[in-house]
Structures are given as structure tokens and as C-alpha cells.
Amino acid sequence: MSTDSPVRLDRDGPLAIITLAAPPLNLFDQPLIDGLTDAVRQVAADPPRGLLIRAEGRAVSGGVDVHLFDGLTATQGGQLWTDLLELIHTVEDFPFPTVFAAHALCLTAAFELSLACDLLLAAESAKFGLVEIVVGLTPSMGGPQRLAERAGPARARELVYTGGLFKAATLEQWNVVNRVLPDEGFADAALAFTQKIANGPTLAHAATKRLVREQVERGTRAADAIVAETSGPLFATEDLKSAVRSFLDVGPGKATYEGR
């Protein structure tokens, strides 16, 4: 990926890091969308053990560049959302933990991308909004339905209908944001948080993701029904074997993992 790309992909040990790098606003124009799509495809082709998505600049993103919408037909608009939802689904389906770090204002497409990640970290001063009503749209990169999954349908409708800006602390109370961290040192704290998860038992994390998704989509008993096929194979993994041995030999919390 070119060094002047609006999206940067880096590796830090077991962790892949995608950075929106078109400051100050990281607008989702066609070059940024293309760069993000390419980065996600590269991550899919060479899977890490964890993914952190973050941004540079005074905003995570000011949202979609409205020039993209000018003159679109209904068919073209439908295709735009189909393509962007494919990107969302790819991130959501990664078989390893994904974390989104929002250090500042996070609007529309970036907010929807964050909801495709497993965990959402936010700085104290960060604000979030699905403000598509200003151009007569509803958020269509999966935002309303994923907000409903996290916060419930009434809160999802409130966020979208009002087009308001919501503080990180409010969205933490609504179970949209997982953790609010201090502004000072936020980038380092988010990286350390994600590194710790990426260094964990990767295959067990994948099993967790599958069980949670099954529960969300089909209910608790449906998730129970796939426990044996999902969690049973973990006993054959090197990570589980070495962690059990470590627990028995030196006690809990000393095991290290290789993602195998």
C-alpha cells in the first residue's frame, strides 16, 4: 500500500493496524473507501491474531464525502450500499478479535465501521453521530441494525431520527461503547488493550465470536447446540495444551499463546 494512501496498514507483532490517514477529517470519499477496502482484503488474505482500526487527525471521520451521493440513481445508490456492506461484513466475520479506537468526532460511515468491530473504545472527548438526515438519508452501512443489537431498537431510532451528536459516556451507558478512556494517552492505551487481546488464545477467541454471533442471530439454545463442535476442537490446539500444562505447573496467568 502506497505511503500516500488515505489508509495505512501496518503490522505490530500479532496485531494488524488499519489507520485512516487522510486528516484532518478522513472523509469517506472514493480514494479512502478504495484504500480501506484494499486494507481489509489484505488482512483477510493474511490473517493476524487481532485487528485495531484507528484514525489520525482532529477527527476520526467527518463522515461520507457528500459528493459521492450527487446525482446517483436508485440503482447506483443500492449498489454503493451493497459494496460498503460487503466491507462491513468482511470486518464483522474476521475470525479474530477486532477493536475500533475513536479518539475524537466519529460520524456516519466511520461510526458504522466501528459497530462492525467486536469492541469499541472511545476517548472521553469523543462524540458519535449518524447524521445522514441532513441529506435525507438513513444510515445504510449497517448502523441502525447494529445499534439496535447493542443498545436496543428505541435507542437506535433515537440516534438516527435526531441526527444528534452523542458523547462517549452516554454511548457507554447504552452499551454501544465498550470503554471510555482518558484523552491523554488514548492512542497508546488503545494499542496496549488490543495487543493484549491479540496475544491471547486466538482460536478460543474465534470460538467466542461464533458462539456470541449464534446467540444474537438464533438464540441461546441454538448457541448451546454448537458448543461441542465449536469448543471441543480447542482441546486439540497447542495453545490449550500448553496453557493447561502451565496452569498445573506454575499456576494461573503465566501461559503465553501462539495462536495455534
List the pLDDT tens digit at each of the 260 positions of the chain.
Answer: 545 789 999 999 999 999 999 999 999 999 999 999 999 999 999 999 999 999 999 999 999 999 989 999 999 999 999 999 999 999 999 999 999 999 999 999 999 999 999 999 999 999 999 999 999 999 999 999 999 999 999 999 999 999 999 999 999 999 999 999 999 999 999 999 999 999 999 999 999 999 999 999 999 999 999 999 999 999 999 999 999 999 999 999 999 999 99
Residues 76 and 92 occupy one common structural domain: yes
Phi, psi values for residue 255, rounded to 5°: -70, 150
Rounded distance, CA 111 to CA 143, Å? Answer: 8
Residues 50 and 168 occupy one common structural domain: yes
Residues 206 and 145 occupy one common structural domain: no
Residues 143 and 96 occupy one common structural domain: yes
Tally of domains in the chain: 2
Residues 194 and 206 occupy one common structural domain: no
Residue 2 lies in a domain: no
- Tell me, what's the pLDDT at 18? 98
Residues 169 and 244 occupy one common structural domain: no
Residue 257 lies in a domain: no
Provide the domain limits for residue 125: 7-198
Residues 31 and 73 occupy one common structural domain: yes
Residues 180 and 212 occupy one common structural domain: no
Q: Where are the beta strands (DSSP E) in the chain?
A: 7-12, 15-20, 50-55, 59-61, 98-102, 105-107, 119-123, 127-129, 166-167, 179-181
96, 121 Cβ separation under 8 angstroms: no
Contacts of 122 (CB under 8 A, 6+ apart): 101, 102, 106, 128, 168, 171, 172, 177, 179, 180, 181
Contacts of 218 (CB under 8 A, 6+ apart): none
- DSSP code for 125: T
Rounded distance, CA 244 to CA 53, Å? Answer: 32
Residues 132 and 30 occupy one common structural domain: yes
List the end-to-end C-alpha distance of the chain, in Å, as a whole number: 28
Rounded distance, CA 108 to CA 128, Å? Answer: 8
Residue 38 lies in a domain: yes
Residues 233 and 176 occupy one common structural domain: no
- Tell me, what's the pLDDT at 3? 58
Residues 189 and 209 occupy one common structural domain: no
